A and B are shown apart, each in its own frame.
Chain A
Amino acid sequence: MGMTMTQKILAAHAGLESVKAGQLISAKLDIVLGNDITTPVAINEFTKNGFTQVFDKDRIAIVLDHFVPNKDIKAAQQSKQCREFACSHCVSHFYDVGKMGIEHALLPEQGIVTAGDCIIGADSHTCTYGALGAFSTGVGSTDMAAGMATGTAWFKVPSALKFELTGKLPPVCSGKDVILTIIGMIGVDGALYKSMEFTGSGVASLTMDDRLCICNMAIEAGAKNGIFPVDERTKEYMQGRCEREPVVYTADEDAEYEKTYVIDLSKIAPTVACPHLPENTKPADTLSDIKIDQVVIGSCTNGRMEDMEAAYRTLKGRTVAPGVRCIIIPATMQIYRECVERGYVTAFIDAGAIVSTPTCGPCLGGYMGVLAEGERCVATTNRNFVGRMGHVSSEVYLASPATAAASAITGRITAPKEV
């Protein structure tokens, strides 16, 4: 029996000719990642257990992104602890305010991750890098500590679901509508412990930003990882960017999949996930009587350049509805700078929105847009759990940047074509 793309990457990193679903392996890691919330716990475990050296200073990435610029004294202490650890171990990929970005936008952009890699990150959305054809998965802080110490991690080889994409997305839709549709279809544990492998003729039409967004939310279906094949578009993206040579793996023709879903991209419509689970999806145009208080456009899911472009196309020359706060957060400093240079920031400000430097901030109810009792937000983020963005009675509706921007203008949930 052949192997899936994920299984091939895991076999190669475990030094095995082949692996099969369910097998427990120890795999070599190309990158170990942490952020300002998860790294302090990892550092404490690392130190407490007597480790004094990291396995490779060039294979560790520490990105301060959740609560920076620091929201309070405690958050500042956590950043300080990360900074001191990174400095004392000469961690090459340490990103602080001024250079940082939201980790899952930053690592691909800076070429720190590449095709064929085996990556763990102490952040659940580490699955994002599957868009480059890497095996990448979220873990906790203890796994991060073990990864930093040994350069290896244990895995149970996952079985897989195949998503065969056909056709081409309508112009008003993007990767977010695809992944929300899929989560709505299979549920928040529909891919539990499994790989989601995306394939088919429709892949070619998806941009890298679409693919990064789709893999980013694989965890919201419970998946271990999401992964795309490497094609010309991937190679073009990685060209001159990645510091290590990409390695291209392809699934065997006789690879085993537990189930195959065929998704016609041309049938995808603007989609919104209603509170309080990402699986509660509905077509955006059926929710037009839901009034909102806030819009957030940003996050590791949708803070990339194409997301900013979508927001700009909608907001340019228009005005945010009275009573709505519109918060736009480019995910990295490079994207932020480009938004300034292209005049997007001026257009956003003229529309009545605000533009923040990169931060995860409001996505997890940290700061920079926390919701009050009973308030509603349309957000391009990834989770709409109870209390996720603030008060336990507040509500988050997950949507694409185009839908979020359209909603900011009307003050209610609005499909992009309506404005």
Chain B
Amino acid sequence: MKTQGHVFKYADNVDTDVIIPARYLNTADAAELAKHCMEDIDPAYVTRMKPGDIMVAGWNFGCGSSREHAPLVIKTCGTGCVIAKSFARIFYRNAINIGMPILECEAAADEIQPGDEVAIDFDTGVISDLTTGKTYQAEPFPEFIQNMIQKGGLLASLKEM
């Protein structure tokens, strides 16, 4: 699996309240929710981003609430991947469970600049910044999690058991 797109860059501690504000959580409709993705930190994200584009952020991405609506809106609006120095644990778990691609890579998060064109190979974890020509190696997922992703998420993998 591969993705390629332009980079939107964010700081440390991007929380679930700015990813999808709770005032919109009176619905579970993913398409409706996705209109408000990143609204309180970057209101232009949903209009400027194109499918496959990539979020790059600092430490502790997705901190705060357990709302699965957060990775869901990022996925639904077409984001190809989130690269961060680290993820808050519930967000990490939720992203894997619903099949939203995420990668941990400190060097990539430090060096990749907003607007850079980046290609990602999820099978190898290699992140290529096509604008600068640099490549980075992301932390691989444990095998257990790789299997879950390959089967299409947590519930799909349970059905196989």
Contacts of B41 in A (CB 8 A): 386
Sample 17 A-B pairs with CB under 8 A, ordered by A number.
A41-B69, A72-B26, A78-B27, A122-B66, A140-B68, A140-B90, A140-B93, A140-B94, A142-B153, A146-B154, A146-B155, A154-B144, A156-B142, A188-B60, A189-B13, A364-B25, A386-B15
Least CB distance, B104 to chain A, in whole angstroms? 12
Instruction: Contact check, A143 vs B17: say whether CB atoms are below 8 A apart.
Output: no
Q: Within residues 21 to 75 of chain A, which ones have a CB less than 8 A from any CB in chain B?
A: 24, 37-38, 40-41, 44-45, 48-51, 66-67, 71-72, 74-75
Task: Among B18, B28, B154, point to the contact of A387 (Cβ < 8 A).
Answer: B18
Q: Judge whether B156 and A38 touch: CB under 8 Å.
A: no
Judge if B65 is at the interface, Cβ distance under 8 Å.
yes
- In the complex the two chains form, is B90's CB within 8 Å of A139's CB? yes
For the complex, count residues of A whose C-beta is within 8 A of B.
54
**A143 with B93: in contact, given A124-B65, A383-B64 (CB under 8 Å)?**
yes
Task: Flag if B86 contacts A192 (CB, 8 Å).
Answer: yes
> In B43-68, which residues have CB < 8 Å from any A CB?
59-60, 63-68
| Other-chain contact of B65, A50, A72, A364 (Cβ < 8 Å) | A364
Q: Quick one: given A192-B60, A192-B86, A386-B40, are A140 and B66 in contact (CB under 8 Å)?
A: yes
B158 at the A interface (CB under 8 A): yes
Q: Are B89 and A67 in contact (CB under 8 A)?
A: no
In chain B, what residue has the closest Cβ to A363? B22
B155 contacts A142, CB within 8 Å? Answer: yes
Q: A38-B68, A189-B59, A383-B17 are in contact. Are A139 and B93 (CB under 8 A)?
A: yes
Q: Say how far A203's CB is from chain B's closest CB, in angstroms.
A: 25
Complex Cα distance, B83 from A186, in Å, reads 24
Q: How far is the CB of A249 from chain B (nearest CB, A)?
A: 22
Residues in B with CB closer than 8 Å to A275 are none
Contacts of A78 in B (CB 8 A): 26-28
- Nearest B residue (CB) for A73: B26
B98 at the interface (CB under 8 A from A): yes
Residue numbers in B under 8 Å from A50 (CB-CB): 159
* Cα A72 to Cα B41 with chains together (Å): 26
Q: Is A145 an interface residue (CB 8 A)?
A: yes
A202 within 8 A of B: no
The distance from the CB of B15 to the nearest CB of chain A, in whole angstroms, is 5
CB pair B89 A222 closer than 8 Å: yes
List, in ascending order, chain A residues with CB within 8 A of B60's CB: 188-189, 192, 222
A188 and B13 in contact, given A74-B26, A392-B40 (Cβ under 8 angstroms): yes
Q: When the two chains form their complex, are residues A189 and B63 in contact, meaning their CB atoms are under 8 A apart?
A: yes
- For the complex, give the distance between the alpha carbons of A142 and B79 in Å: 20
Kindly list chain B residues whose C-beta atoms are within 8 Å of the C-beta of A366: 22-23, 25
For the complex, give the distance between the alpha carbons of A193 and B89 in Å.
6
Judge whether A142 and B23 touch: CB under 8 Å. no
Q: How far is the CB of B69 from chain A (nearest CB, A)?
A: 7
A residues less than 8 Å from B64 (CB atoms) = 124, 383, 385
Tell me if B13 and A277 are in contact (CB < 8 A): yes
Residues of A within 8 A of B68 (CB): 38, 41, 122, 140-142
B88 to chain A, nearest CB (A): 6
**B4 interface residue, CB < 8 Å from A?**
no
Residue of B nearest to A39 (CB): B28
Alpha-carbon separation in the docked complex, A40 to B67 (Å): 11
Residue numbers in A under 8 Å from B98 (CB-CB): 140, 142
Question: Does B128 reach chain A (CB closer than 8 Å)?
Answer: no
A45 vs B159: C-alpha distance when bound (angstroms): 12
Contact with B along A112-138 (1 / 0, CB 8 A): 000000000111101000000000001
- For B70, the closest partner residue in chain A by CB is A140
Interchain CB contact under 8 A, B158 and A146 = yes
Complex alpha-carbon distance, A50 and B156, angstroms:
10
The interface centre, meaning the residue of B13, B15, B66, B154 with most chain A CB atoms within 10 A of its CB, is B66
B140 proximal to A (CB < 8 A): no
CA distance A122 to B67 in the complex (A): 8
- Which 3 A-B residue pairings sit nearest by Cβ, starting from the closest? A140-B94, A140-B68, A74-B26
